[in-house]
Amino acid sequence: MDSDDNPPPPAGASRRPRSSRLRYPARVRPKRSRSTFPARREGNRYGVPRAIWSGSIAFGLVNAPIRLYSAIDEHDLDLHLVHVKDGSRIGHLNVCKAEGKPVPDDEIAKGYDSNGKIVLLEDEDFEAARGEGTKTIEILDFVPHEQIDPIYFERTYYVGPESGAEKVYRLLVEAMEQAELAAVVDFFFRDREQLACLRVRDGLLLLEKMYYADEIRPYEDVRPGRRGKLDRKELDMALSLIERFTGDFDPGRYADTYRERLLDVVRRKRRGAAIEAPAAAEEEAPTDLLTALRESVERAKRDGRRGGRKQAASLGELTVGELGDRARKLGVEGRSKMSKRELVSAIERAER
């Protein structure tokens, strides 16, 4: 049981205590803005979306036929395990650990270890456990969305209406939007029962697949103790640093620069170029926390940090990472091997 000094984390159906919220100075408190989707890119490279699940939302005695679409398109590089000698891909065999021999597909089944005894499960066993209503998203409760801690969210999906079901879909969207509530739902998806949350965004239903409460690990052994008083100067300096980085959330400002640099390495290696990792920059560690905070604030001032956006600065005032991003946008080749001075010169030539 937690003491009064260590309150438990916000539960899925309870509000976060007011005392635990981060208090910004009035002049830097972020303004609330209505969530919007990222702007559609010209030539929409995604094409026509393909439904990955179809069924209906049960809303009392009303059923809204819907389709589920993936909302996420991760851009991980497709790296493969290959044979160094000839570049051919590495394959894997299903090997029996007792016999040490490959096993054909028709001799492989799913099994559960029950106290040392393996219980084999067939398709009929899984069907029996599913029960009825496997194509229905059942609404269990309507709750304020802010009461659901983000730790419960796993993945987001778009929910669209089936052809001819637009009216009942719009009715549910409008009712939820006016009530300013989200729906906690239960449905069967990809061979398991799923907890999820339906919410409205820009006139569209989103389904947030969620973890169950017993899937969230306890945190007591991770959270530090709260004994001892914080230094007022250090806290004020930390708040000043936060103020320098405070602004409105714009997802378009953030990019996976590592992926771009890795692709550049791939292109250069394909042309036969030698690749060398840049030497890590060594910075002298501050002597104490207050000094570190003060130097961080001064650095943010030099970089022109205000309201979460960096003001225009000369090339010499930018970091190596920022110069690399700017060089990438200008198509400067070999930038990953350049020093800061070389990057500045290359960018200046490219911008002439």
Number of H helices, E strands in the chain: 7, 11
Q: Does position 71 have pLDDT exceeding 60, yes or no? A: yes
Classify residue 33 by its DSSP letter.
-
Half-sphere exposure for 349 (CA within 13 Å, toward CB): 9
Q: Which residues contact 338 (CB under 8 A, 6 or more apart)?
A: 327, 346
- Whether the predicted pLDDT of 308 surpasses 70: no
pTM passes above 0.75: no
Closest CA to 60 of 173, 125, 139: 139
224-246 pLDDT, tens digit per residue, is 888 888 888 888 888 888 888 88
Mean of pLDDT values over 326-347? 83
Is the pLDDT confidence value at 341 over 80?
no
Q: How far apart are CA 119 and CA 121, in angstroms?
A: 6
Average of per-residue pLDDT across 79-94: 92
Tell me the C-alpha to C-alpha distance, in Å, between residue 136 and each of 68, 91, 206: 12, 39, 16
Domain residue ranges of the chain, discontinuous segments joined by +: 53-72+129-215, 233-350
* 3-class secondary structure, 273: coil
Higher-pLDDT residue of 128, 183: 183
Least confident of 8-22, 95-109, 112-126: 8-22
- Matching residue, tokens 């800061």: 340
Rounded CA separation 191/200 (Å): 26
Q: Which of 67-76, 239-248, 326-335 has the highest mean pLDDT?
A: 67-76
pLDDT for res 12: 41
Measured distance CA(318)–CA(311) in Å, rounded: 11
CATH number of 53-72+129-215: 2.40.290.10
Please write the tens of the pLDDT for every residue from 257-270.
888 888 888 998 89
For 100-113, give one letter per residue: b (16+ CB within 10 A) or e.
eeeeeeeeeeeeee
160: β partners: 67
How far apart, in whole angstroms, are the C-alpha atoms of residue 343 and residue 316?
A: 10
pLDDT at position 8: 45
Q: State how far the Cα of 48 lies from the Cα of 38, in Å rounded to an integer.
A: 17
> For residues 134 and 104, which has the higher predicted lDDT (pLDDT)?
104
